[in-house]
Structure 1
Amino acid sequence: MMHNPSDTQQPISFSSAVTGVVQDGVLHLTLANPPVNAISAAIREGLMQALNLAEKSAVIRALTLRGAGKFFAAGADIKEFDLPPSEPTLPQVTARIEASVKPVIAAINGAALGGGCEIILACHYRLAVEKAKFGLPEVKLGLVPGAGGTQRLPRLTGLDVAIDMIASGKTISAQEALQNGLIDEITTAENLTYAAQKAAQYHTGKEPRRTLALSVQPVNTEQTTAKILAKARGRLAPTETVRLVSLTATLSAEQALAEERTTFLRLRESDEAKALRHVFFAEREAGKHDLPAGTVPRPVATIGIAGTGMMGSAIAVAALAAGYQLIGYEPTQEAADAGLARITALLNKQFQSGRLSEQALEQQRANCTVSADISALAGADLVIEAVFDDFEVKSELFRRLSGVLRDDAIVATNTSYLNPDELALKISNPSRVIGMHFFSPAHIMRLLEVVNCAETAPDVLTTTLELAKKLNKLAIVCGVCEGFIGNRIFSAYRREAEFMLEQGAWPHEIDAALEHYGFPMGLFAVCDMAGLEIAWAKRKRQAATRNPDEPYCNIPDRLCEAGRFGQKSGRGWYIYSDGKRQADPDVTAIIEAARFEKNITPRPFTPDEIISQLLKAMANEGEQLLREGIAARSGDIDLVLINGYGFPAHKGGPMFAAQNHKEH
C-alpha cells in the first residue's frame, strides 16, 4: 500500500512490478517483470501511480528509473500480444513521463528495447552502463513503435540515424547511442545509482528537457530511405516507419503521434504482423523439448572438427567465437595447413570488418590448432565431422574415430542427405552419435538442424542443444529421413516447380513470382548458384529404386547432360554473360522438347497460381513430415524454411502461409 514518502528509504510498492525508494528528495523507481522486464500492464500502472505521487509530494523533487536484474526493459509483454491494449496504454505513460514537471532520469542498467526504449526516450536525461543496448525492433514483428518512438528518436539522433535504426530494427551499443545523441552519459554498473542520484539532483528545479520540444534538422534522407525500401521486399512495416519518421519534419508532434498510433493499431491487425507473431512464438516453442527428468548436458570445453574445408572451417570459426578450444583434423599435413589458413582468413576478415577486437582475434587464434594426426582429437569432448558427403568417406572416418576418442565423447555428423543412423553403426557406442546439419556459411547462418538419431542418448541431445545455444544457433530438432526437414521440403517444391515447367510455366516466371512474394532469390536462380550436379548425382543414385509409376521430370537431367551445371559453368537454368543472369533460348528448347515428348499442351500460369501450387507442395510435404514424426511441430518447419531457405519471415513460413492462402 502506498503512503506518504519520506527519506527513510522504506520501499514503496506502486504495483506488483514497480517499487520505489526515496533518497535525498529523489524517488528511485525499479521495474521488475522477470525475465526481461517486459512492459506489462503492472509496469504501466505502477509508473502512473509513481508519477501521480511525485507530482503531489513536496518531498520528491526528481525521479530515476531503472530495471531489476540485467535488463532495463525489453519490449511489450508477450502475454498481451493478442489482447486489446489496456489502460494506461504505453503512449499515455510516455506522454506522462515527458510532461512531468519534476525531472525524470533514465538510469539504464541493461538492454532498453521496444517499449523500454520508448520510455527512456520520454525521460529528460539518460545515463547508461557500458553494456546497455538500445533498439526499436518492432519492425521485426510487422509493427512500428506505437508510443512515440518514431517521433522522439529523430529529435535526439537526427532523421537518418532514426530511419536506419527503426526501419531495420537493429540494436546499437551504449557507445553508439552516446555518439548519436540517444543517451547523454555512460557510467559503470557499480556507479549507476550514484550517478543517477547526482543527475537527478543537478536537474532538480530546472525546466526538464522535453524530447518532443526539440526541433528536427531537415536533411536529405533519400539514400538511407532507398536502402531500407530495397531491403523491405514488399513488407509494410519498414515502409510505414520511413513515412512516420519523416513526419517529424512536417507535422506537429501531436499530429504525428496520432498518426503513429493509428498506424501501429492498423499494422497490429495486418497479415504481416500475424505472420511475424507466429514466427516469434514458434521460436519460443522450438526451444522446448521433452527430455527425461534429470537429464543434464555433458561438459564440453574442447571441440574437434574433422574436415576443415569450407564448411568445417566456418563451423570452427563459430566454435571459436563461442569460446571453445578447437582441434581441427585433416589426413595430410598439406590439407591441415590449408585448413588452418582458411580458419585464420575467416577470423582476419571478422577483425578487419570490426566484428572482432585484436585481443579476441589473438585469443581465438591461440585456441585453434589443426593437425594431420587423428589422435590429436583424443582430447575433444565433442567432434563434428564435416568431410565430403559420401557414405564410404564418412564411414571410414567414423571407424578411425572409434579407435581414438574417449567412449563418452560425442560425435556429430554434418551430413545433408546421408542416413546418420547407418553412420552411427560404424562407431563404438552409437548412443553418442547425433546429426548437426549446419547451413552455409556456418559461422553466419543461424539455422542448425539437430538430428536425433535412433540410438542418440538424451544427454547427448541436451548437450548438443546447449552447444547450439552457445554457438548462437536456432536449433530445430528433427528425426532421421532423406534430407531431414529443410532439404526434403526444398526437394518437394523444386519438383513441383519442374512439373509446372512441363505444364507451361517458364523458369524466369516462377523465379519472378517467388521474388515478388518475398524470397531474396528465385528457385532456379538458387539451383544455378548451388550447382545442378549434386542433385543430378542423387537422382542417378536413386534411379534404380524409383517407382516407374510416379511422375518424373527429366528437364534438369537434360540440362546436366548438356554440361549446364549452373553459374560455375556459365550456364544452367539461365545463361550468365558478364555476370548477368538471362533466359537462354537453349533452355527454352529443352523445355519445349520435354513438353512435346509427353504430349502436353502448355498453358499460362499467373504469379498467384505459381505461389499457390508451390505453397501447397511445401505444406503437403510438411504434413507428411509431421505424420512421420520427423518434425515435432508445424512451427519448426516454418522456422527451417525461413532461416535456411529464404522463405520470407513476414509470410510466416510455408505451413502458416499455406493455411492463410487457403483462407484468403
Structure 2
Amino acid sequence: MAMSTVGYEIDGEVAVLTVEYPPVNALSAAVRTGLGEALERARSDAAVRAVVILGGGKTFIAGADITEFGTDKSKVKPSLQDIQTVLEGFPKLTIAAIHGTALGGGLELALTCHARVAVPAARVGLPEVNLGLLPGAGGTQRLPRLTGVEVGIDLITSGKHIPSQQALALGVIDAIVDDVRSGAVAYAREALAKGISFVPVIERNDKVTGIDAAVFAAARKQVGAKARGKIAPMVIIDCIEAACTRSAAEGLVYEKERFQELFASDQRAALMHYFFAERQARKIPGIPADVKPKPIQSCAIIGAGTMGGGIAMTFANAGIPVTLLDLDQASLDRGLGVVRNNYGISVSRGSISQEKMDSALALITPTLAYDDLATCDIVIEAALERMDIKKEIFFRLDGLMKPGAILASNTSYLSIDEIASVTSRPGDVVGCHFFSPANVMKLLENVRSASTSDETIITVMEMGKMIGKVPVLARNADGFIGNRMLQYYTGEAEFLLEQGATPEQIDRVATRFGMAMGPMSMRDMAGMDMAVVSRKGRAASIPAGERVSPIVERLVEAGRYGQKTAKGFYRYEGREKFSDPEAIAIIESVSKEFGITRREFTDDEVEARLFAPLVNEGAKEIEDGTAIRASDIDVAWVNGYGFPVHRGGPMFWGEKYGLDRIYQMALDAAERNGPRWAPGKLLERLAKEGKGWDAA
C-alpha cells in the first residue's frame, strides 16, 4: 500500500506516525489517506499501546491544503473529520507531537488526539478568519473547552499564533518537550505506566457550561468594533456560543453549516484573492531566476523626522543596525526622543518587552557626519519632498557610498529617474516609499526607474519581507501606484459635497464600506493647510479644462484647518466631532458660485462614486505599466490606505461591481470633471468584452 506520505515505525509499545509531505505537511488527500491507513495498522497491532503523530521536516501539520479547495481532491476519503472521529474514539492512547507550527486543520487534528505535546519554539493557532472562514473541523467547539470561552473567542477571532509556553498555560497543550520525537514517546510511556486516562476534548464540558449570555454580547461589541464589516469573526462567536448552549454533536453540525455559509460568501472569495495577491506581488516577471538579492546587514537613514525615525524603528525591530543622520544635534535629539517615546508606548501596552526596546534602541546610532554612512549596505533618504534637496543628497551619496550599496529615496511622488540622474550608478538607485507611521504601516512601495538593476529590485523586494513589510513594485510615475489613485478618491468626495452630499454621509458610507475613516475626517486629521500647500505644488501639472473643487481652500481661508484648529469639515471638542452648519454654508456657497444644483444622494450612489474612480485610475496604471498586475494595486491599497481587506482591494471590488459599470461612470465623470477622469483603453476593452483583469 502507498504509505509514502506517512511513515510508520515502532518504538517499543509506541507507534510513531510521521507525516512526510513537504514543504508544510498540509492535509492533502495523500496525507489523509496515509494517516487513515497508518491508524488502522496501529489499531490492529496488538503490541502497540500508544500512537504518536508528528510532522517530518520543519513543521507539524500547518493546516488544510488550500490548493485543493473546491477540487475533486478535497472530496477524497477519509476527510479530516473522518480521521478526527477515528482519533477521538481510538482504543489506544494518541499523542500529537508539535514542532514548527500546528495551524488550522493541523491544530484541529491535534485537538482530537488524547494529548498534545510541543517543543519550546512551536506555535499553534487557528488563522482561518484571515481567509474569511472559521475553523471548520471542530476548532470552535474544541478549543474553548480547553481555554475557556473568552480566551477561545480572542484566539479564533484574531487568528493569532501563540507560542508553546502560552499554549501550555492556556491548556491547549499538555506538556513541553525538548525533542519532538523522543519527548513525545517518553510522555506516552509515562502516561501508560501511570495508567492516566484522557477524556476526549469534545467531552470536557466544565469550561463551556453555565456561561452567561452577557459574555457573548460583550464579545460581539468588542470584536464587532475591530472587525469593521467582516462577517467571519461574528460567525465564530455564534459557533462558540453554540458550543456552550448545544450538545457536542449539535455544535459540530452547526459549525459545519456556518462554515459552508462563509465558504460561499463574497468575503471569503475576496480574502482568498488577497491571500494569493500578496504572494504574487513578490514575483517580478522578466527577472532571470539566477539574479540573487544583495545582503542587507546595515542600513543608513537620512532625516530623523517622523518618517526617518519610523523607518529606523522598522530596521532595528528586524535586528538590522541603523545609522541615523540629520543636519543638526537638535533635530537628531528630537527624532530619537520620538523613537524612544514610541517604543515606550509599546512597552506600556505590553506589545513589546523592555529588553526588546533596549536592544532595538541599541541598534540605532545617531550621527551628524555623512562619512559614517559610507560602509552601509543601503541608504534611505527621508528628507523634505523637494527635488533640489534630494538631488543634492544623492549627488553626495554617489561620491561617498561603497560600490554596490543601494541608494533609496522615500519620496511619495517625485521622479526616481530624475533623482538617479545625478549619480554615476543609476542601477543602484530605487524608490523605497514607506507609509506613515512607518513603524506601523505594512506597505513598502518599491519604485524602479528606467535604469534600476534587476539585482537592486530583487534586493529591496526581499528586504521588505525581511523587515516585516508587504512589498509591491511600481514603475516610476507621478504618485506611483497608491498616491496617484488617492487624488481621485478625495477629489470625488469633494465633488459629491458640491453636489449635495454632506461630510457626515460621505464619511459614514466610507466607514460602512470598511475604511478606517472617511475622506473628510482624514482631511481634518492630516490638516487641510498641508493639503493646500501640496495642491499648489501640483497645480501646474493639472491640464486646462480640468475641475478641482476649491472647497478645501475656502475652508482654510476661513481658518478651518481641521482638528488642529478645532474646526474643519466638522467642529471638534477634543477628539469628538460634531456637524457644523458653518462648514456646510461654505460648501453651499461653492455650489452656488459654480451654478451646481444640489440634490440628495443615496448611500449606495455615494459608495459607487467614491470607489469607482480608484478602479478607473488603477486600470490606467496596468495599461501604462506603473503596476505589474491588478492584484498588486489591491495589495498596495489594503496595506497603505486602509482599503478593507475583506473586499479584496479596489480592483477586485471593481471587477465584482462590474467593469462595464465602472467604464460608464468614468465617461460620466469625464463629462463633469474633465478628461483626466475618462476611462483608458484597457478598461474600455475589458468592459466591452465582458472580461476581468485576468484578460488584461
**For this structure pair, what is the TM-score category when the shorter chain's length is used for normalisation?**
over 0.9
Hey, which bits of structure 1, 4+ residues long, moved more than 4 A? none
Partner deviation per Cα, 1:166-224 (whole Å, 9 max, x = no partner): 11212211111111111111122xx2222211222234465442111101243342433
1:9 alignment counterpart? none
Query: Following the alignment from structure 1 to structure 2, what is the Cα–Cα distance between the partners of residues 207 and 340?
Result: 58
Cα offset, 1:116, TM superposition: 0.7
2:158 alignment counterpart? 168
2:640 alignment counterpart? 644
Out of 135, 160, 164, which is 2:125 matched to?
A: 135
Out of 166, 169, 176, which is 1:179 matched to?
A: 169
Query: Following the alignment from structure 1 to structure 2, what is the Cα–Cα distance between the partners of residues 219 and 175?
Result: 27
Instruction: Report the residue type matching 1:153 in the other structure.
Output: L
1:525 aligns with 2:515: no
1:24 alignment counterpart? 12
Q: Does structure 1 retain, via aligned residues, the 8 Å contact 2:510–2:517?
A: yes
Considering only aligned residues, what root-mean-square deviation do their CA atoms show, in Å?
1.8
Cα offset, 1:78, TM superposition: 1.8
Instruction: Report the residue type matching 1:385 in the other structure.
Output: E
1:145 aligns with 2:135: yes
1:38 aligns with 2:33: no
Secondary structure at the residue paired with 1:112?
strand
Q: Does structure 2 retain, via aligned residues, the 8 Å contact 1:489–1:621?
A: yes
2:219 alignment counterpart? 224
1:489 aligns with 2:485: yes
2:69 alignment counterpart? 81
Change (3 A) 1:418 1:250: same
Cα offset, 1:545, TM superposition: 4.4
1:202 alignment counterpart? 190
Query: Following the alignment from structure 1 to structure 2, what is the Cα–Cα distance between the partners of residues 521 and 418?
Result: 27
1:453 aligns with 2:449: yes
1:154 aligns with 2:149: no
1:245 aligns with 2:232: no
1:313 aligns with 2:303: no
1:71 alignment counterpart? 59
Change (3 A) 1:171 1:608: same
Show the 5 A alignment for 1:463-612: 463-612=459-608
Partner deviation per Cα, 1:28-81 (whole Å, 9 max, x = no partner): 111222222221111111111112112222122211111122221222112112
1:623 aligns with 2:619: yes
Q: Does structure 2 retain, via aligned residues, the 8 Å contact 1:304–1:384?
A: yes
1:402 alignment counterpart? 398
Give the fraction of aligned pairs with identical amino acids, expressed as a percent.
42
State the TM-score, normalized to the length of structure 2: 0.90
Query: Following the alignment from structure 1 to structure 2, what is the Cα–Cα distance between the partners of residues 231 and 79?
Result: 29
Cα offset, 1:580, TM superposition: 1.1
1:661 aligns with 2:653: no
Cα offset, 1:368, TM superposition: 1.9
**Worse overlay, 570-579 or 145-154:** 570-579
Change (3 A) 1:401 1:614: same
2:103 alignment counterpart? 113
1:52 alignment counterpart? 40
Cα offset, 1:149, TM superposition: 0.4
Secondary structure at the residue paired with 1:107?
strand
Show the 5 A alignment for 1:405-444: 405-444=401-440
Q: Does structure 1 retain, via aligned residues, the 8 Å contact 2:224–2:234?
A: yes
Partner deviation per Cα, 1:95-123 (whole Å, 9 max, x = no partner): 22111111110111121111111011111
Cα offset, 1:602, TM superposition: 1.5
Query: Following the alignment from structure 2 to structure 1, what is the Cα–Cα distance between the partners of residues 70 and 422?
Result: 51
Partner deviation per Cα, 1:397-441 (whole Å, 9 max, x = no partner): 222223321232111100112112111122331221110110111
Query: Following the alignment from structure 1 to structure 2, what is the Cα–Cα distance between the partners of residues 230 and 345?
Result: 27
Q: Does structure 1 retain, via aligned residues, the 8 Å contact 2:242–2:254?
A: no
Show the 5 A alignment for 1:190-339: 191-204=179-192, 207-215=197-205, 216-220=208-212, 221=215, 222-290=217-285, 291-339=287-335
Q: Does structure 2 retain, via aligned residues, the 8 Å contact 1:97–1:123?
A: yes
Instruction: Report the residue type matching 2:211 in the other structure.
Output: V
Secondary structure at the residue paired with 2:374?
helix
Instruction: Report the residue type matching 2:138 in the other structure.
Output: G
Query: Following the alignment from structure 1 to structure 2, what is the Cα–Cα distance between the partners of residues 447 and 266?
Result: 32
Query: Following the alignment from structure 2 to structure 1, what is the Cα–Cα distance between the partners of residues 171 and 355?
Result: 29
2:685 alignment counterpart? none
1:7 alignment counterpart? none
Matched pairs, number: 650
1:369 aligns with 2:357: no
Query: Following the alignment from structure 1 to structure 2, what is the Cα–Cα distance between the partners of residues 91 and 141?
Result: 20
Query: Following the alignment from structure 2 to structure 1, what is the Cα–Cα distance between the partners of residues 189 and 494?
Result: 71
Q: Does structure 2 retain, via aligned residues, the 8 Å contact 1:395–1:426?
A: yes
Instruction: Report the residue type matching 1:281 in the other structure.
Output: F
Query: Following the alignment from structure 1 to structure 2, what is the Cα–Cα distance between the partners of residues 293 and 163?
Result: 44
Query: Following the alignment from structure 1 to structure 2, what is the Cα–Cα distance between the partners of residues 364 and 251?
Result: 49
Change (3 A) 1:353 1:379: farther
Query: Following the alignment from structure 2 to structure 1, what is the Cα–Cα distance between the partners of residues 224 and 571?
Result: 29
Instruction: Report the residue type matching 1:280 in the other structure.
Output: F
Query: Following the alignment from structure 1 to structure 2, what is the Cα–Cα distance between the partners of residues 605 and 346?
Result: 42
Secondary structure at the residue paired with 2:330?
helix
Query: Following the alignment from structure 1 to structure 2, what is the Cα–Cα distance between the partners of residues 105 and 527?
Result: 56
